[in-house]
Amino acid sequence: MTGSGVRLRVRYSKTGKVRFTSHRDVVRMWERALRRSGLRVAWSEGYSPRPLLSFGYALPTGAESLAEYLDVTLAPQLFVASGSHWAAEQLWDDVAEPPAEPPAEPPAEPLAARLSALLPDGVDVHGIARLPVGSGSLQQEVSSCSWKLEVHGLASEELTSRVERLLAAPTALVERERKGRITSDDLRPAVLALTVVRRAEGGAVEPTTHPEHAWLQAELATRPRGVRPRELVEVLGPGTKLSRACRLQQWIERDGTRIEPLAICGHGAGTAATRAERRAS
C-alpha cells in the first residue's frame, strides 16, 4: 500500500483450551475476525497482498497469556485530519460519510466487544488504542515479559535452593538447535527476576494444592534472544518439569522505567515500574 495509515494496538488474552493453538493459527484467526468485523484494514502490495498486522513475541504453544498484543494498520484515506482527532465512525465498511466532529479517542469498548465476539472462546480483547505516529513495532520495543509458571517434581524447599543457585551463577547454559546444529546458549543474562511462591495469586491460572507443585514468578528478557519457560525450567536441573505457563505482561523499557505496551498510547499509564522497583520485588 502507499501512504501511512492509522495504527491501532490491541491487547488481548489467550486462556483455556485455545492455548494449544499455534502462533500461525492465532494469526489466521485474527485475519478472519478482522475480515468478518468489516474493519477497514490496510493491505500490503505485491503479488500476494496480506492484511497489515504486526504481532508481538510468539506465545509458546500450550501457554496461556493475559497480555498478548497486536498492531493493526487501517487504510489511511479513511481518516480526517483534525489535530489528534480521527473519524472513528470511518472504521467500518458500512459507513460512508465522516462525522462533522470526529471523537478525540477511538470507541475502544464497542470495538473490543465487537472483535471479542468474532474470536474463539478463550481469546478476549481487553483494550484498544491508537498508536502515536512513529511508534516502533512490538518486536522492536518489547524488552521483557513477566511469567507465572507451575512446576512439579521437586519439593518447594529444593526448588527454592535451585532458584537461588541459578540467580547466583555467572552462567546458565541450555542446548538449542539452530539450522540443524546443536549450540549452547547462556540464558543467565536474560533471567531478570525469579522467585518461588507456594500459591499463585491472581491471573488466569488457579492455585495448585498439590504438595509437590509450586509456582515460579519470572521476568525474562526478550533480547538478544528470548527465553522460553521450558528452557528456564530446564536450566534449574533434572527432576523439575513445567506443568503450566501464563504470560502476565510484556514490557517496554524507556529511561529506566518499564511500560506496558498499551500505555505508550496514553492508556493504562499507571502500568509502569522502575528497574529499582523490579529488583525489590
Residue 199 banded pLDDT, cuts 50, 70, 90: low
In a domain, 1, yes or no: no
> Is the same domain home to 114 and 200?
no
In a domain, 266, yes or no: yes
> Is the same domain home to 45 and 88?
yes
Per-residue pLDDT, 268: 46
> Is the same domain home to 210 and 265?
yes
> Is the same domain home to 34 and 91?
yes
> Is the same domain home to 269 and 154?
yes
> Considering its fold, how many domains does the chain have in total?
2
Residue 47 banded pLDDT, cuts 50, 70, 90: confident
Residue 183 banded pLDDT, cuts 50, 70, 90: confident
> Is the same domain home to 198 and 219?
yes
> Is the same domain home to 129 and 148?
no
Out of 135, 165, 194, a domain closes at 135
CATH number, domain with residue 39: 3.30.70.580
> Is the same domain home to 153 and 98?
no
Encode pLDDT of 89-109 as tens digits. Answer: 444 443 333 344 444 444 556
In a domain, 180, yes or no: yes
Domain that holds residue 83: 7-135
In a domain, 83, yes or no: yes
Per-residue pLDDT, 220: 96
Per-residue pLDDT, 200: 46
> Is the same domain home to 81 and 160?
no
Is pLDDT above 80 for 211? no
Helix, strand, coil in percent for the chain, rounding step 5 = 25, 35, 40
> Is the same domain home to 108 and 165?
no
Encode pLDDT of 222-274 as tens digits. Answer: 988 888 999 999 999 999 999 999 999 999 998 888 999 998 887 544 454 54
Q: What are the φ/ψ torsions at residue 98 (nearest 5 degrees)?
A: -70, 155
Out of 72, 101, 135, a domain closes at 135
In a domain, 272, yes or no: yes
Is pLDDT above 60 for 3? no
Contacts of 51 (CB under 8 A, 6+ apart): 31, 34, 35, 41, 42, 43, 44, 72
End-to-end CA distance of the chain: 46
User: 0.95 exceeded by the pTM?
Assistant: no
> Is the same domain home to 60 and 192?
no
> Is the same domain home to 253 and 159?
yes
- Return the amino acid letter for 219: E
Q: Are 67 and 87 in contact (CB under 8 A)?
A: no
Residue whose entry in the numeric block shows the C-alpha cell 527432576: 239
Average pLDDT in the 163-171 region? Answer: 96
Encode pLDDT of 115-132 as tens digits. Answer: 999 999 999 999 999 888
Per-residue pLDDT, 48: 81
Per-residue pLDDT, 157: 87
Per-residue pLDDT, 134: 82
Out of 120, 135, 150, a domain closes at 135
Q: Are 260 and 143 in contact (CB under 8 A)?
A: no
Average pLDDT in the 6-29 region? Answer: 94
In a domain, 2, yes or no: no
